[in-house]
Amino acid sequence: AGITDEAAITNDEQPSQPPSPRFEHTVSDQLSKEHKEIAAGPVRNELKRLDRRTDPDSQYYYVETVLRTIDESQQANWWDNFALCLIREYDYSNFYVQRTYLQINSEHIKALLKDTIGEYPGISFHTKEISVDAPYHVLFHYRQALRTASEACEVDSEAAAHAKLLLGWIDSEFKDVSEETTNLIEQGMISYKHLWTLLAPGTLIYASVLGQARLFKLQSYAYGMADLKLTLTYHDFDGEDFGDMESVRAVRNFAGASHITELSAYPLGYHADPDGVKSELVKRGRRFEDYAGVHFCNYSGIALEHSGWSMNRFSTSGRVVVDAKTFHRLNPDTAFEVARLGTEPAAVLVKSGTVFEVSR
């Protein structure tokens, strides 16, 4: 999704010795005057494509992506007066693009993003300077919410025009992705490449753990070499408090397209009976809550035992004691501490058996 310079080359094609910078840092008097006029004027309802480069003195400067260059000593901050700037940032050789991002200059768009999204993994929309790195997934996930929120803008106002500019760019950037995923989702399927489109942070994720239905809340996701890792949270009890724990699950890479419900973890909304699942898990959760503290019970069924890095299952029948606090005291290697609700979730110990790497 990032924009690259036609003259730039990919990392696979990089020469052993980068060539000398190809750009002369000069600008005509006319262009310098034009930039100063832009800087002195109102915010323009345009998206500006820019390259951020570095001069021999390690000072950065901006040039238009069309390869017009400028002497940093002659330029004003003219780029700040474009509502949106799509910027390619070069390394010190001015030869390789090392970052592509969308810089938000419009105060109207900043307010729209702040009110609609607020916080997103790795991004805060409450800061003065706001930028979104390629591939801009956050804007895809919230595109409908942004569209709905923009309807509150006064007709023909500058805010409405800036919102239209942002939404138009999002639609253009993700046109192919939207068309491909819409066609697959209508058939209840998804490709591995586009699996991320189903995974907006905050989504409830359904998965089977040790043969039992579980629900998690998605915090973030990241593609790895062979799988898509989901960072999730769930509720647990550590002997003292109920709270959040963090877990990581993985969906293995797969070829072609797969039925969404055949994946090892997928959004609850695609389950055949999402309301039924939630109802059953709420009942089970209340029963789990009833066993907080110390309880003496008769039990007949499957028990779990920690064994190194895995969990063993075995049948048992007889009297048992349910006492999480004492269990943690006697088994410190498998102990954990929850984050009370409303605080940051605690990361689980992999050895405790509460993290399960699963495959499709």
Res. 20 pLDDT band, cuts 50 70 90: very low
Q: Which of these, 191, 197, 134, 143, lies nearest to 166 by C-alpha position?
A: 143
In a domain, 290, yes or no: yes
pLDDT band of 80, cuts 50, 70, 90 = confident
Q: Which residue has the tokens 């020469």?
A: 15
Q: Is the pLDDT of residue 281 over 50?
A: yes
The answer on pLDDT for 329 being more than 80 is yes
Per-residue pLDDT tens for 216-271? Answer: 999 999 999 999 999 999 999 999 999 999 999 999 999 999 999 999 999 999 99
Does residue 295 have a pLDDT over 90? yes
Say what the pLDDT of residue 21 is. 47
The answer to whether residues 203 and 232 touch, using CB atoms and an 8 Å cutoff, is: no
> Which of these three, 116, 145, 175, is where a domain ends?
175
Contacts of residue 252, defined as CB under 8 A and 6 or more positions apart, other chains included, come to: 226, 227, 264, 359, 360
4 belongs to a structural domain: no
Residue 160: φ, ψ to 5°: -65, -40
Note whether 169 and 20 are same-domain residues: yes
Identify the pLDDT of residue 72. Answer: 58
Question: Residues 30, 68: contact at Cβ < 8 Å?
Answer: no
Contacts of 88 (CB under 8 A, 6+ apart): 2, 3, 4, 5, 49, 50, 51, 52, 65, 97, 99, 100
pLDDT at res. 66: 58
Q: Which of 142, 175, 208 is the last residue of a domain?
A: 175
Average pLDDT, the chain: 84
To which H or E segment does residue 140 belong?
A: helix 137-141
Q: 96 and 238: one domain?
A: no
Share of the chain above pLDDT 70, in %: 84
Q: Is residue 6, in this structure, part of any structural domain at all?
A: no
Q: Distances in Å between the alpha carbon of 140 and those of 29, 53, 132, 169, 194? A: 41, 28, 12, 11, 12
Q: How confident is the model at residue 46 (pLDDT cuts 50, 70, 90)?
A: confident
Q: What is the pLDDT of residue 70?
A: 54
pLDDT of residue 92: 81
Higher pLDDT residue, 360 or 92?
92
pLDDT of residue 325: 93
For 63-78, write each residue's pLDDT tens digit: 887 544 555 555 667 8
How many CB atoms lie under 10 A from the CB of residue 48? 21
Residues 167 and 198 grouped into a single domain:
no
The pLDDT of residue 348: 44
Q: Is residue 357 part of a domain?
A: no
Q: Look up the domain containing 242 and give its range.
A: 190-352
Mean pLDDT of 4-12: 38
My answer on whether 142 and 245 are in the same domain is no
- Across the strands, what pairs with 317? 300
The per-residue pLDDT for 357 is 38
Looking at the structure, do residues 234 and 151 belong to the same domain, yes or no?
A: no
122 and 225 part of one domain: no
3-class DSSP assignment, residue 99: strand
Strand-strand pairing, 242-252 and 346-347: parallel
Residue 182 lies in a domain: no
Domains contained in the chain, number: 2
Distance CA 13, CA 8 (A): 10
pLDDT at residue 351 is higher than 70? no
Q: What is the pLDDT of residue 26?
A: 63
Q: Which of 114-123, 138-147, 303-312 has the highest mean pLDDT?
A: 138-147
pLDDT given at position 48 = 86
165 and 30, same domain (yes or no): yes
Verify that 17 and 154 share a domain, yes or no.
yes
Average pLDDT for 34-39: 85
Domain boundary among 111, 145, 175: 175
Residue 213 sits in the same domain as residue 170:
no
The tokens for 205 are 């994720």
Question: In the chain, which ranges are E strands?
Answer: 44-54, 60-64, 82-90, 97-104, 119-120, 123-124, 130-133, 189-191, 204-209, 212-223, 227-237, 242-252, 257-259, 265-267, 294-307, 310-323, 339-340, 346-347
- Is 50 strand, coil or helix? strand
pLDDT of residue 344: 61
